[in-house]
């Protein structure tokens, strides 16, 4: 069984345990995100499903699927680019806190890390001192990966 197959099986079992269903179309969209090392837009996922599964999906359907997958903690929405990435913690059963995304500006590769709670508390306190309330502490950091910097 491949790593993606194991992730898909775990995602399906997790959904079942919560009384939800990972339908064929939801599986196809999740598979596309797991297969990609970069974030994908809804339209890129439509193209992926057409190419890989010969499945025509409407944009509104893909957005609903992505919303479902996000609610089930299987994917994350990147706010800056309005794209989606598979959660790197699908196999874990515990809460992972606030995600930090390192995004290569050259090849668009993404890595998900978890921000320590103390750091989030500090950021929220700093924002509060300046008269702001943090709505979403998710961080998206523009970087260059080692492969791109060395090529």
Sign of CA dihedral 74, 79, 84, 86: negative
Considering all CA atoms of the chain, what is the largest pairwise distance in Å, rounded to the nearest integer? 53
Could you tell me if 29 and 13 are in contact, meaning their C-beta atoms sit under 8 angstroms apart? no
15 is in an annotated binding site: no
CA distance 45 to 31: 10
87 is in an annotated binding site: no
Using CB atoms within 10 A of its CB, is residue 126 exposed (0-12), middle (13-18) or buried (19+)? exposed
Could you tell me if 99 and 136 are in contact, meaning their C-beta atoms sit under 8 angstroms apart? no
Using CB atoms within 10 A of its CB, is residue 34 exposed (0-12), middle (13-18) or buried (19+)? buried
Annotated binding-site positions for Zn(2+): 104, 107, 145, 148
Annotated binding-site positions: 104, 107, 145, 148
């Amino acid at each position: 069984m491949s790593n993606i197959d194991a992730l898909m099986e775990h995602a399906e079992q997790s959904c079942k345990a919560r009384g939800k269903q990972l339908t064929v179309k939801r599986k196809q969209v999740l598979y596309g995100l797991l297969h990609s090392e970069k974030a994908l837009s809804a339209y890129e996922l439509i193209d992926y499903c057409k190419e890989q599964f010969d499945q025509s999906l409407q944009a509104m359907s893909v957005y609903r699927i992505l919303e479902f997958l996000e609610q089930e903690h299987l994917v994350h929405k990147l706010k800056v680019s309005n794209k989606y990435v598979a959660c790197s913690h699908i196999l874990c059963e515990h809460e992972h806190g606030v995600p930090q995304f390192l995004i290569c500006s050259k090849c668009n590769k993404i890595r998900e890390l978890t921000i320590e709670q103390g750091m989030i508390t500090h950021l929220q306190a700093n924002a509060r001192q300046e008269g702001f309330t943090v709505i979403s502490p998710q961080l998206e950091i523009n970087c260059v990966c080692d492969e791109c910097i060395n090529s």
